[in-house]
Structure 1
Amino acid sequence: MFNLFRENTKIALGSIRAQMLRTILTIFIIGLGVWALVGVLAAVAVLESSIMGNFAVMGTNTFTITRYDTSGQIGRQNDADVRENPIVTYPQARAFQEKYNFPGAKTSLSFTAASGVEVKFGEKESDPEVTVLGADENFLPNSGLETTQGRNFTNFDISNNNYVCLVGADFEKGILKDVNPIGQTIAIRGAKFKVIGVLKGRGSTFGNRQDLNLIIPVQLARSLYSAPNIDYTVKVSIANPDFLDGAVGEAILSMRRIRKLAPVAKENFGIERSDELLETLKSETDTLAAAAWVIGIITVFGSSIALMNIMLVSVTERTREIGVRKSLGAKKGTIAMQFFTETLVICIFGGIIGLILGLLTGFGLSAIMNASFPMPWVATFAALGTIVIVTIVSGLYPAVKAAALDPVEALRYE
């Protein structure tokens, strides 16, 4: 049996070399189908890893109080939502922080002080894309952030308005390259800050370069950036995730009292729970994965039809050869296995090329997004399964048709 397969493989390779142009086109068709399947699945894996990773670091024991709730409408926020709810002012955020005393809860205040800022270090200048955040000492742990060098803010830094800052990971690649960033002095619109910590890299999400963020004490940010209608964000972490429901309920009651809402009035603020947000994101990525499978299956189906037609043409062109082989004693099984093996060899070549291109697509996307590249094992096994399916679908009928040819009629074929 092995000798027969080896002989059929030699014949298949000889036929492939004899019809090089047709073979290249066929391999390209199969490779395109596998590329579409593996490439889209690999891209979805990168997106899921990037998006889910950025939110999963917060854990399932946090929630955020904002002007409106976007957890159920990711990517679908509109102007009506913004106009409906008043902003969360500093007095309101501060009052919540003082009055909310749920056991084991830590509350942080933050706001976006400025965006598109240029930062200077000596003679060096950063890209004018830096976002300055005002935050307190609880902002990092409540947001799932951590430092790779230096330290976080302390209560002393916040209460005394110390001119200190935390910088994103991209600063080490930019103006703070080749120097120890801790203890260096940088200038932000004329104000000088001492770097006390470098944040761990988080990559980019939908074009938002999070590693270019710069964080300064919240009170100091309020005095330096006094823009009107500043909207504050309150983040709360709970020591025990089992008490999250109770913590959220008490937070809603506290915020309603602070916003002076009537008992029957609807909340004019949003509560975004990290666990619900993760579930929403998981649902979105699952939809993308399902769409990827549909696209891949359609492409593979089209590739199978194209390959079958090409193999049927090959059978027609080699009818006389089949007749000669049958007249010399070749059995139907031998003829069928010859054409089936030829289809298998073409599919293997096409599958390997498509798999490599698909993985390169996912790797390229991860490099563009500055995110990790998880090995898409599902996509890899899908490619192997695709090769088997395409071989069976595309090679079985032409092989059976070739084996069923009458040797006398085949010898008469011109």
Structure 2
Amino acid sequence: MQLFFNAVLAFRAIRTNKLRSSLTIAIIGLGIMALVGILTAIEVMKASIYSNFSSMGVNTFQITSEILKKKKHKGGGVNVTVVDGKSITYEEAKMFRERYRFPSEVGVSFGATDIATVQYRSQKTNPNIRVVGGDEAYLGVSDTKLEAGRNFSVAEVQMGGYVCILGNGVAKKLFKNKLREGINQIVSVGNMKCRVIGIMETKGGSMIMNADNKVVLPLLTARSQFGESDDSYLLSIKIDNINQKDLAAEEAEGVFRVIRKLPLGTENNFSITQNNDLVEIVMDSIVYISLAAVIIGIITLLGSVIGLMNIMLVSVAERTREIGVSKALGARSSTIKQQFLTESVLISLLGGITGIILGILLGNSVGGIFGTGFVVPWLWMGMGVTLCALVGIISGIYPAIKASKLDPIVALRYE
């Protein structure tokens, strides 16, 4: 009952000083908005990263020429450096596919270009389309499904057929909402004309890339049109039994070392990467961003503590006669203290709730860029409310004690 009475008095005091209270609430709200907004945006980015790597398949690993070297610090965190190893040639990729006997599906691909333009009649994309050369296993190992059409046939891959599979974003640009009508149409990929045989389902964008802005060509076709002598090929292996993933990766490493004729005891000049390894590296980097966001939020809230304490001290000075009347009528010092402390906490919580709502909306605006769902960071919301309550208590405790210790006779004389 006493708490309810204190809350009513606090609301009345806030309404009486609307401008001053609103400014204080706004200051606290901005601090919490910055904190929750940044942390929500980080949660959105994490969801985007997980979505991007899961789209590559949880039972898939890759052999690449780029070597990731991780170095852990004693205080936590990981430094990652990327070293260019020896390029994987087309002949090495073919030999691996022939020799690797583990129950799996092996796909060979390479990035032909990232600046292609695709055109159909008068419709033309921007010169930012990624062209990939892949074999008949490419869709399977990349966990890509088709919305319309079919995959490459073995003959089209081996003979270098002039056919292509369009990413969903490219198809929508060329054929609008009539995607299925794009099948068997002739499009220009760079300076080459090819027939559309398939259109991929949408995968959406991420902070790493837009998976829908892509065209896949048969491997030999991409080599003849875009290939360079120093191209490095990517080997993707999708195993049948996910529980044997580590064993499959070890065998793949052994087979490729034999292909490269690496002596015993020498380091690999290639790397075997798994999606969870890449996710771990990215997440370790994001930890530092989260820490910076928390520090920024705490600094802002320290400013809010000073501002709110100043406001409460002014409130004590303005209401000195009111405190004297209350004490003269029998109000105890503890009651006066509770009233001012409740007012301080209430102002802080109002600012915090406002900041949390704005912060969630601000952080999720990043989700619109990456195409992720709406994220509600319950942990950071709880932390925000707790911080605001602490701000209110810290800011209000001294003014409340000062108000409770006023002499009623002196207070009644105050003008």
Higher mean displacement: 66-75 or 93-102 = 66-75
Q: Structure 2 counterpart of 1:69, which letter?
A: I
Structure 1 residue aligned with 2:386: 385
Deviations, residues 148-191 of structure 1 (Å, cap 9, x unaligned): 34443343442343333222232244222132244133211231
Point out the more displaced range, 33-42 or 303-312: 303-312
Match of 1:147 in 2: 146
- Structure-2 residue corresponding to 1:355: 356
Q: Residue in 2 aligned with 1:46? A: 44
The residue number in structure 2 matching 1:190 is 192
CA shift for structure 1 position 386: 2.7
**Greater shift after overlay, 338-347 or 348-357?**
338-347
Following superposition of structure 1 onto structure 2, how do residues 362-373 of structure 1 map, counting pairs within 5 Å?
A: 362-373=363-374
> What is the deviation of 1:59?
4.1
- Secondary structure of the corresponding residue to residue 127 of structure 1: coil
Q: How many residues align?
A: 406
Task: Give the Å deviation of 1:10.
Answer: 4.0
CA spacing shift, 1:286–1:77, aligned 2, 3 Å = closer
Percent of aligned pairs sharing the same letter: 38
Does residue 98 of structure 2 align to residue 98 of structure 1?
yes
* Alpha-carbon displacement from aligned partner over 1:123-142 (angstroms, at most 9, x marks no partner): 11111110100011222232
What is the deviation of 1:49?
A: 0.5
Are the aligned partners of 2:67 and 2:269 in contact in 1 as well (CA < 8 Å)? no
Moved over 4 A (4+): 4-7, 73-78
| One-letter amino acid matched to 1:93 | A
1:135 is matched with: 134
1:249 aligns with 2:250: yes
1:85-124 paired onto structure 2 within 5 Å: 85-102=85-102, 104-124=103-123
Determine whether 1:203 maps to 2:173: no
Displacement of 1:71: 6.8
* Equivalent residue letter for 1:275: N
Letter in 2 for 1:33: G
More displaced stretch, 121-130 vs 50-59: 50-59
For 2:75, the equivalent position in structure 1 comes to none
2:9 paired residue among 8, 11, 17: 11
2:353–2:385 Cα contact (<8 Å) kept = no
Contact 1:68/1:271, CA 8 A, preserved across alignment: no
In structure 2, the partner of 1:163 is 162
For 1:72 and 1:177, locate their aligned partners in 2 and report how far apart those are by CA, in whole Å.
Answer: 45
The yes-or-no answer on 1:178 pairing with 2:180 is no
Residue identity matched to 1:106: E
Determine the C-alpha separation between the residues in 1 that align with 2:170 and 2:101.
37
Cα distance change on mapping 1:148 and 1:344 into 2, 3 Å: farther
Determine the C-alpha separation between the residues in 2 that align with 1:349 and 1:289: 25
Closer/same/farther in 2, CA of residues 285 and 147 from structure 1, 3 Å limit: farther
* Alpha-carbon offset, residue 203 of structure 1: 0.7
Q: Alpha-carbon deviation of 1:268?
A: 1.1
Contact 1:145/1:200 (<8 A) preserved: no
| 1:258 to partner: Cα distance | 1.6
Q: Which amino acid aligns with 1:135?
A: G
Q: Secondary structure at the match of 1:330?
A: coil
Q: Is the 8 A contact 2:33 2:356 kept in 1?
A: yes
Instruction: Tell me, in whole angstroms, the C-alpha distance in 2 between the residues paired with 1:398 and 1:358.
Output: 30
Deviation at residue 248 of structure 1 after TM alignment:
1.8
Helix, strand or coil: the match of 2:113? strand
Instruction: Name the CA distance, whole Å, in 2 between partners of 1:190 and 1:255.
Output: 34
Structure 2 matches for 1:250-269, cutoff 5 A? 250-269=251-270
Distance 2:368 2:79 in 1: 23
Distance 1:299 1:167 in 2: 49
> Aligned letter for 1:197?
I
Secondary structure of the residue that 2:236 maps to in structure 1?
A: strand
- Counterpart of 1:327, as a letter, is A
Distance 2:116 2:313 in 1: 65
Answer yes or no: is the 8 Å Cα contact 1:107–1:234 preserved in 2. yes
1:96-123 superposed Cα distances (whole Å, 9 cap, x missing partner): 1111111x12111111112211111111
1:31 to 23, 29, 32: 29
CA contact (8 A) 1:71 1:280 kept: no
Match of 1:326 in 2: 327
Amino acid in structure 1 at the alignment position of 2:140 = P
Please report how far the alpha carbon of residue 344 of structure 1 lies from its aligned counterpart in structure 2 after TM superposition: 3.1
AA at the equivalent of 2:163: V
- What is the TM-score normalised by the length of structure 1? 0.89
8 Å contact kept, 1:185–1:195 = no
Amino acid at match of 1:96: F
Scaled by the length of structure 2, the TM-score of the pair is 0.89
Distance (Å, rounded) in 2 between the aligned partners of 1:190 and 1:138: 23
Q: Is the 8 A contact 2:170 2:214 kept in 1?
A: no
CA distance in 1, matches of 2:70, 2:141: 21
Greater alpha carbon shift after TM alignment, 107-116 vs 12-21: 12-21
Structure 2 partner of 1:402? 403
Other structure's SS at 2:68 match: coil
In 2, Cα distance between equivalents of 1:202 and 1:127? 18
Q: CA deviation at 1:360?
A: 1.4
For the residue of structure 1 that corresponds to 2:363, the secondary structure is helix
Classify the secondary structure of the residue corresponding to 1:209. Answer: coil
Q: Alpha carbons of 1:333 and 1:253: their partners in 2 closer, same or farther (altered >3 Å)?
A: same
Answer yes or no: is the 8 Å Cα contact 2:301–2:391 preserved in 1: yes
Residues 406 and 156 of structure 1: CA distance in aligned 2, closer, same or farther (over 3 Å): farther
Structure 1 residues without counterparts, runs of 5 or longer: none
Unaligned runs of 5+ in 2: 72-77
Query: Which amino acid in the other structure matches residue 214 of structure 2?
Result: N
RMSD: 2.5
| In structure 1, C-alpha distance between the alignment counterparts of 2:89 and 2:370, rounded to whole Å | 34
Relative to structure 1, the CA distance from residue 215 to residue 71 in structure 2 (aligned partners, 3 Å threshold; closer, same or farther) is: farther
